[in-house]
Amino acid sequence: MKVTLKDLTKRFPGRSRKDPAVTAVNDFDFEIPSGELVGLLGPSGCGKSTTLLMICGLEKPTEGQIFFDDEDVTNIPPEERGVGLVFQNYALYPHMTVEQNIMFPLGNLKGADKLTKEQMKEKAKTAAKLVQIDHLLERRPKELSGGQQQRVAIARALVKMPRVLLMDEPLSNLDARLRLQTRVEIRRIQRETGITTIFVTHDQEEAMSISDTIVVMKDGVVQQIGRPQDVYDDPHNLFVAKFLGTPPINVFSGNLHRGKIYIGEDEVFDADNLAPDPGTVRPGADGVRKGPGKLAKDAGDCKVWIGIRPEGFYVDENGPLTCNLKGVEIMGRDVTVLSEHPEFEGETIRTIVDSENRPDTSKSEVHFRVRPGKIFIFSEDTEERLYGSR
């Protein structure tokens, strides 16, 4: 089932007549291919859950349309859209067994779709088997772990084989290990069923690990859409670059001068070795827009933000970037070097190097070179990317 969002906008009225309306989602225009798992990603309040609620029909758009294939479902009631919902709160009925919880949506079917009790039991068993809890059908929610309860909620959403599966922060209540296990299971289930799935999360690791495509949002505006690795390797603005990555990208205040990139007094890179921003979809003041890339020579001398991925450094005694060494964290194959620089945006620069490339910890300074494919230059004013390298 292809899902198309056309100029989708949602505004909520202000708290009083004097207060302006709040735009939760602004001009969202996107087509989700049939059978894909798409992650809506962004910080709290960015509009991702509101988008989900509009798709399922629990919120009505202020403007725009929603299509399932070629059918306009914008004004169709939620119960007639054929969607399955899984929320952060499992909302299981405590007095019912697992089987009864899964069967519950089937009891609302009417007319030609109405099922016998035996048919409902069979469908519940099939859904339970899909999420690997078919051995727990006689238990009640209080007898289940958090991960098992979440699987019941997923089975309940799948039992009617919905046209579209919507999941809003479904793993937030699970511990770290269960989150990892359950997200693998969600990906497996989605591939087995082929149901178009929209997954809302603020956890970038979660979204990148299971999504075919991610949509990064901020303040109701889409910042970037793409395959997870492409978005990581090719961020269109500073927000996207900072939001994706663990550890996060290291951001420095720097200067572009005569085609050279400087952090403080250190000339860390030649801008001629960096590709210009390709000028694909980037955010503008009034939503997503397209704009031309900017070459380094066009930018002139200016203040810029310099983003370097943690894996974009390597230790070199003759390297141009000099930092104050704070220490190292050894994690088997890799070493995390902790350092400081007066032009760094945060407190501690975290760089990941091979264990063979670790610095001399007896010294107070560490010198780095920067890998071309891991450095990005952003406008200090707009925070849009000027150029970088793939």
Contact between residue 165 and residue 83 where contact means Cβ atoms under 8 Å apart = yes
pLDDT of residue 275: 60
For 219-297, list the strands marked E by DSSP. Answer: 221-226, 250-257, 260-263, 266-270, 275-276, 281-284, 287-290
302-308 vs 287-290, strand pairing mode = unpaired
pLDDT tens for residues 340-373? 999 999 899 999 998 888 898 999 999 999 988 8
C-beta atoms surrounding 160 within 10 Å: 17
Q: Report the alpha-carbon distance of residue 266 to residue 326 in Å, rounded.
A: 19
Contact between residue 357 and residue 367 where contact means Cβ atoms under 8 Å apart = no
pLDDT of residue 389: 54
Radius of gyration of the chain (CA): 25
Task: Specify the CATH number of the domain 3-232.
Answer: 3.40.50.300
pLDDT of residue 287: 37
Contact between residue 251 and residue 344 where contact means Cβ atoms under 8 Å apart = yes
pLDDT of residue 270: 80
Mean pLDDT by 10-residue block, N- to C-terminus, for the chain (390 residues)? 96 84 94 95 94 96 96 94 88 93 88 87 93 93 90 92 92 82 89 94 90 96 95 94 93 90 89 58 36 43 92 93 94 89 94 89 94 90 80
pLDDT of residue 343: 96
pLDDT of residue 277: 54
**Hey, where are the domains in the chain?**
3-232, 239-388
C-beta atoms surrounding 96 within 10 Å: 15
- Determine if the peptide bond prior to 248 is cis (ω within 30°): no
Distance from chain centroid for Cα 192: 22
pLDDT of residue 177: 81
Q: Report the alpha-carbon distance of residue 13 to residue 2 in Å, rounded.
A: 31
